A and B are shown apart, each in its own frame.
Chain A
Amino acid sequence: MAGIGTAVGRGVDTTYTNPALLSAQHHREFTFGWQSTRFVLYAEGPNAPGDLSEDSLHGTTIGVVLPVPFGDFLEDRVTLGLGVFTPSTLIARARLLYPERPQFPVLTDRAQTLNFNAGAGVDIGYGLRVGAGALALAELTGTVVVRTDSTGRVGTAVDDQLIATYAPVAGASWDFAQDYTAGLVYRGTLRGDFDVVVQVNDLGSLTVPDLNITGVAQYDPMQVQAEVGRRLGAWTFAVAATYKRWGAFDGWQRPTVKCPAAQPDCAALTPEPVEFHDTVVPRVAAAYAFELSPDAKAEVRAGYFWEPTPVGEQTGSANYFDNDRHVLGVGYGLELAEPLPPIRVDVVYQHQFLAPRSHQKKAGVATDNAGYPKVKTGGQVMSTGIALGVKF
């Protein structure tokens, strides 16, 4: 459904698309799913590597929707939701490559991170629902102290920690007319840093500054999505727009050596700034539901969205590639009811086309740079998934 779901979403996905819609669920449901994504990417040019495809990414999803059986005025009004997507065995990937290495950091690295979404929705009445939740991510901080021990040999003391970072999600939906629903959701910035400081002491005549192995491992910009959905008989239509505040992102890399206050103009290297700008993503989707039998319903879904790139043209030495994307998705859902087992099966396929893009390097860029003098990037991303839900 192309990221649609702020007004017409359902199931555990609403912990992300709009937690307010959780309150429309009045039965407990456990969901288990599997997803696979394949990246076929390229960067072509005189120095470019050509194929930049990534290994296929596989992951599992687990989710649960739990209506809370309050009594009195809260009866059938409050629902909790919890969803986790785990890419193979990863919680997060921190891949901060040298900027001149050809790479697609927005596209590939973000997909290889655990998504942990939890939320609650409340049915206020009068067609109004509100909800809130949190998205979670892990970041790494630590220190490494290098020094000589009592035997005069090099020794190290290490202390590293994983720390959880969170971003809020808040949403609302309103059935503002018969068969019409509007939804609005806000997602805060979700950022996972990598921050390890190497301190080197007492190494003979060698004096080394603190080395900051730091950067931003994962970044999701602040987002606001507005959506309107309409149910027309067996059909559901929805249009949406997502605003992403990429302009607030200041890039992945940080200086390895920081100039001290006493020497603010030291010659330590500073990463070249990366240009990011805000984006707006338009989305459209439709679904058609029909009965296979009195105890089996099916739904066919399709959607499209256009995701403009937030990354500026790579005219300097950096080669952070990203492209506009046209994304098509199709899906099929089957839901059984008593006397059959209360099972729901959803399958989905999504195809992303990266619009070809050229980057022209400025004068002064090293001639052996992978993007010199010009590089053309593009590719495709294919995803498929299946989810099994059971009501209990």
Chain B
Amino acid sequence: MRRGLAPALAALLVAGSLHASPADTFGLGSRSTAMGSAVSADVRDFSANYYNPSGLVLTRGLDITAGYYYADHSLEMNGKDSRVDPVRGIVGGLVAPGSIGFLPFAFGIATFLPDDRISRARASRQEDPRWVFYDNRTQLIFISANLAIRPFEWLSIGGGLTYLAATRGSFGISGTAVLPAGNKTEYDSELRHEVDADLTTERYPELGVTVRPHERLDLALVYRHQAAIELDVDAELTGTVDATLIKVPARYSLDSYTVNAFIPRQVVVGGSYRPIDELSVNLDLKWVDWSSFKSPVSRSSTTLDVNVPPGIIELPPNPKPTQLEEPGLVDRIVPLLGIEYRLEVTPDLVVPIRGGYIYEHSPVPPQTGITNYVDTDRHVLSFGTGVVLREPGALLPGNLRFDAHAQWSILPTRVTLKDSPADYVGDYRARGNILNVGATVSVGFE
């Protein structure tokens, strides 16, 4: 029993995955998502908390948004569905602009609350195939809070923190495990447990600047820091295996270290140009520091102290120490393009029409060895529309906005050929697509 439980408990504690914000993958807010997330220089709603905090202070009044999105994965390997769970949940947030004395100031908060969980951690072996950027990383709560100021008419500066959740701690199990014999069953085991686990926050900063060199042009620079949660875990199991004829004392101890979550540094340079009042054309370039990525596979050492007489209990052998392969990811630059045309149907009714495109080159090198971080390039097409009602009534001195988006990610086929014909997984072809649809409703006070 000791050999089985200790690694299991340790693995639970150090459950690792390539976490990153779900906003990285699916965007945040229907308007921004529909515009291919190319909004760093053109964001004025709650999604500024992610795309560019300096945009908060450019909002004209208190702005509150709530919405929902659903992203369905159709990812496959060798024609077989990889069964990557959908991501769905509530998005929302607010922007509260004001001033401190003569200095324009704003506070903002944004969140994505997954329907099913705050976060999920899955530990699997190094060689297990996994869609490294979709399997688990998006199953994560996103909370970001920011402040912004506007020291000059042409300059806005913002920054804040994004919060993620992780788990760390230790377990202990002690007592007597009974092996079934005679009228005794395994349920007669007198075992008990204790837990000392922390659910922790990992905070990383983000900064953004917006400048307006011309009344029809905004430029933006955004920096998001990386986050890596390092864990150092102990687990100990002490007790006795009761095999009726004999009782065998057993002890198992484990030390483990892992990087449980990694979010790469990002720098975004963006621009938004309005050739006419009704049209915005946006282009962002995002550098993502994937080369700093650390393997999520745990490094552990174990000590088993049990003296089992031959033939009494047969135990499988201990797991070998994991020989970590460097993941070897490379940096990538992601172009993002967005466009919005605001069709003024009446002075009080505007219908925006939006589109966007993103190309993400896979940062994962060919998986010819033991690791199987499955990934392909990604083309993202997005579309959206909505309704803006200006001054909808005396109760609401501002606007009421409904926005919807559809985002289609195409992951073209990538073939992986293994160096070894006896590879545990073998050659495979990976491909798929992801459909993300959602809507938001916003209330803006002016």
Query: Given B179, B192, B318, which contacts A206 in the complex, CB threshold below 8 Å?
Result: B179
B310 within 8 A of A: no
- Shortest beta-carbon distance, B113 to chain A, in Å? 7
Query: Given B106, B188, B198, which contacts A268 in the complex, CB threshold below 8 Å?
Result: B188
| Contact A94/B194 with A69-B397, A71-B397, A153-B319 known, Cβ cut-off 8 Å | no
Pick the most buried of A74, A153, A206, A258: most chain B CB atoms within 10 A of its CB.
Answer: A206
Instruction: Establish whether residues B169 and A94, one from each chain, have CB atoms under 8 Å apart when the complex forms.
Output: yes
Instruction: Establish whether residues B121 and A160, one from each chain, have CB atoms under 8 Å apart when the complex forms.
Output: yes
Of the 9-residue stretches A127-135, A136-144, A306-314, which lies at the interface with chain B? A136-144
- Within 73-102 of A, Cβ neighbours of B (below 8 Å) are at 73-74, 80, 82, 86, 89-98, 101
- Within 367-403 of B, Cβ neighbours of A (below 8 Å) are at 393-398
Of the 9-residue stretches B68-76, B199-207, B326-334, B343-351, which lies at the interface with chain A? B199-207
Instruction: Establish whether residues A158 and B100, one from each chain, have CB atoms under 8 Å apart when the complex forms.
Output: no
Residues of A within 8 A of B396 (CB): 70-71
Which residue of chain A has its CB nearest to the CB of B109?
A82
Residues of B within 8 A of A69 (CB): 61-62, 397-398, 445
Instruction: Establish whether residues B105 and A392, one from each chain, have CB atoms under 8 Å apart when the complex forms.
Output: yes
Instruction: Establish whether residues B197 and A269, one from each chain, have CB atoms under 8 Å apart when the complex forms.
Output: no
Return the 5 tightest CB-CB contacts between A and B, nearest first. A392-B98, A162-B118, A204-B314, A267-B188, A266-B187
Residues of A within 8 A of B199 (CB): 90-94, 138, 140, 162
B189 within 8 A of A: yes
A209 within 8 A of B: yes
- Within 178-201 of B, Cβ neighbours of A (below 8 Å) are at 178-180, 185-201
Total residues of chain B contacting the partner, CB 8 A: 84
A334 within 8 A of B: no
In the bound assembly, the distance between CA atoms of A381 and B194 in angstroms comes to: 26
B145 within 8 A of A: yes
Residues of B within 8 A of A159 (CB): 15, 120-122
Of the 9-residue stretches B5-13, B27-35, B269-277, B432-440, which lies at the interface with chain A? B5-13
In the bound assembly, the distance between CA atoms of A256 and B180 in angstroms comes to: 18
Interface secondary structure of A, over-half rule: strand
Instruction: Establish whether residues B122 and A158, one from each chain, have CB atoms under 8 Å apart when the complex forms.
Output: yes
A342 within 8 A of B: yes
- Shortest beta-carbon distance, A341 to chain B, in Å? 6
| Contact A267/B190 with A198-B8, A203-B1, A211-B5 known, Cβ cut-off 8 Å | yes
- Shortest beta-carbon distance, A27 to chain B, in Å? 9
In the bound assembly, the distance between CA atoms of A171 and B192 in angstroms comes to: 42
Pick the most buried of A97, A145, A267: most chain B CB atoms within 10 A of its CB.
Answer: A267
Residues of A within 8 A of B64 (CB): 68
Instruction: Establish whether residues B100 and A161, one from each chain, have CB atoms under 8 Å apart when the complex forms.
Output: no
In the bound assembly, the distance between CA atoms of A341 and B200 in angstroms comes to: 36
Instruction: Establish whether residues A158 and B117, one from each chain, have CB atoms under 8 Å apart when the complex forms.
Output: no
Instruction: Establish whether residues A154 and B316, one from each chain, have CB atoms under 8 Å apart when the complex forms.
Output: yes
In the bound assembly, the distance between CA atoms of A69 and B64 in angstroms comes to: 12
| Contact A194/B319 with A161-B118, A162-B119, A200-B1 known, Cβ cut-off 8 Å | no
- Within 255-312 of A, Cβ neighbours of B (below 8 Å) are at 255-260, 263, 266-269, 271
| Interface set of B (CB-CB < 8 Å, partner A) | 1, 3-5, 7-9, 11-12, 15, 61-62, 64, 94, 96, 98-101, 105-107, 109, 113, 116-125, 139, 141, 145, 147, 165, 167, 169, 171, 173-175, 177-180, 185-203, 313-320, 393-398, 424, 445
Instruction: Establish whether residues B165 and A162, one from each chain, have CB atoms under 8 Å apart when the complex forms.
Output: yes
In the bound assembly, the distance between CA atoms of A101 and B195 in angstroms comes to: 13
Instruction: Establish whether residues B198 and A90, one from each chain, have CB atoms under 8 Å apart when the complex forms.
Output: yes
- Shortest beta-carbon distance, A374 to chain B, in Å? 25
8 pairs, A vs B, C-beta closer than 8 Å: A71-B394, A74-B395, A94-B196, A98-B174, A146-B5, A160-B121, A267-B188, A269-B175
Number of A-B contacts (CB under 8 A): 257
Instruction: Establish whether residues A160 and B12, one from each chain, have CB atoms under 8 Å apart when the complex forms.
Output: yes
| Contact A211/B173 with A144-B8, A198-B8 known, Cβ cut-off 8 Å | yes
Instruction: Establish whether residues B107 and A30, one from each chain, have CB atoms under 8 Å apart when the complex forms.
Output: yes
Instruction: Establish whether residues B187 and A257, one from each chain, have CB atoms under 8 Å apart when the complex forms.
Output: yes
Contacts A144-B8, A341-B100 aside, 14 further interface pairs with beta carbons under 8 A come to A66-B62, A66-B94, A90-B199, A91-B165, A98-B174, A144-B12, A156-B11, A160-B12, A164-B141, A206-B314, A213-B195, A217-B197, A256-B192, A390-B100
Instruction: Establish whether residues A263 and B109, one from each chain, have CB atoms under 8 Å apart when the complex forms.
Output: no
Instruction: Establish whether residues B187 and A96, one from each chain, have CB atoms under 8 Å apart when the complex forms.
Output: no
Instruction: Establish whether residues A90 and B7, one from each chain, have CB atoms under 8 Å apart when the complex forms.
Output: no
Residues of A within 8 A of B316 (CB): 148, 152-154, 203-204
Which residue of chain B has its CB nearest to the CB of A204?
B314
In the bound assembly, the distance between CA atoms of A82 and B94 in angstroms comes to: 11
Which residue of chain B has its CB nearest to the CB of A161?
B117
Instruction: Establish whether residues A203 and B200, one from each chain, have CB atoms under 8 Å apart when the complex forms.
Output: no
| Contact A94/B195 with A205-B313, A269-B175, A392-B107 known, Cβ cut-off 8 Å | yes
In the bound assembly, the distance between CA atoms of A217 and B198 in angstroms comes to: 10
| Contact A89/B169 with A64-B107, A69-B62, A341-B101 known, Cβ cut-off 8 Å | no
Which residue of chain B has its CB nearest to the CB of A145?
B8
In the bound assembly, the distance between CA atoms of A341 and B105 in angstroms comes to: 13
Instruction: Establish whether residues B315 and A203, one from each chain, have CB atoms under 8 Å apart when the complex forms.
Output: yes
In the bound assembly, the distance between CA atoms of A207 and B165 in angstroms comes to: 35
Residues of B within 8 A of A86 (CB): 201
Instruction: Establish whether residues A89 and B62, one from each chain, have CB atoms under 8 Å apart when the complex forms.
Output: no
- Shortest beta-carbon distance, A98 to chain B, in Å? 5
Residues of A within 8 A of B180 (CB): 207
Residues of A within 8 A of B319 (CB): 153-155
Residues of B within 8 A of A267 (CB): 178, 187-190
A28 within 8 A of B: yes
Instruction: Establish whether residues B107 and A90, one from each chain, have CB atoms under 8 Å apart when the complex forms.
Output: no
Instruction: Establish whether residues B395 and A70, one from each chain, have CB atoms under 8 Å apart when the complex forms.
Output: yes
A177 within 8 A of B: no
A57 within 8 A of B: no
Which residue of chain B has its CB nearest to the CB of A340?
B101
Instruction: Establish whether residues B8 and A89, one from each chain, have CB atoms under 8 Å apart when the complex forms.
Output: no
In the bound assembly, the distance between CA atoms of A162 and B202 in angstroms comes to: 14
| Contact A91/B200 with A158-B123, A209-B187 known, Cβ cut-off 8 Å | yes
A106 within 8 A of B: no
Instruction: Establish whether residues B118 and A163, one from each chain, have CB atoms under 8 Å apart when the complex forms.
Output: yes
In the bound assembly, the distance between CA atoms of A62 and B3 in angstroms comes to: 46
Residues of B within 8 A of A198 (CB): 5, 8-9, 12
In the bound assembly, the distance between CA atoms of A154 and B147 in angstroms comes to: 50
Instruction: Establish whether residues A260 and B123, one from each chain, have CB atoms under 8 Å apart when the complex forms.
Output: no
Residues of B within 8 A of A253 (CB): 192
Instruction: Establish whether residues A269 and B187, one from each chain, have CB atoms under 8 Å apart when the complex forms.
Output: no
- Shortest beta-carbon distance, A169 to chain B, in Å? 18
Pick the most buried of A114, A161, A163: most chain B CB atoms within 10 A of its CB.
Answer: A161
| Contact A160/B4 with A89-B200, A154-B316, A268-B188 known, Cβ cut-off 8 Å | no
| Contact A94/B190 with A154-B4, A161-B119 known, Cβ cut-off 8 Å | no
Instruction: Establish whether residues A92 and B198, one from each chain, have CB atoms under 8 Å apart when the complex forms.
Output: yes
- Shortest beta-carbon distance, A65 to chain B, in Å? 10
In the bound assembly, the distance between CA atoms of A36 and B117 in angstroms comes to: 31
- Shortest beta-carbon distance, A197 to chain B, in Å? 10
- Shortest beta-carbon distance, A361 to chain B, in Å? 20
Instruction: Establish whether residues B187 and A268, one from each chain, have CB atoms under 8 Å apart when the complex forms.
Output: yes
- Shortest beta-carbon distance, B400 to chain A, in Å? 12
- Within 135-193 of A, Cβ neighbours of B (below 8 Å) are at 138, 140, 142, 144-146, 148-150, 152-164
Instruction: Establish whether residues B3 and A97, one from each chain, have CB atoms under 8 Å apart when the complex forms.
Output: no
A72 within 8 A of B: yes
- Shortest beta-carbon distance, B321 to chain A, in Å? 12
A208 within 8 A of B: yes
A387 within 8 A of B: no
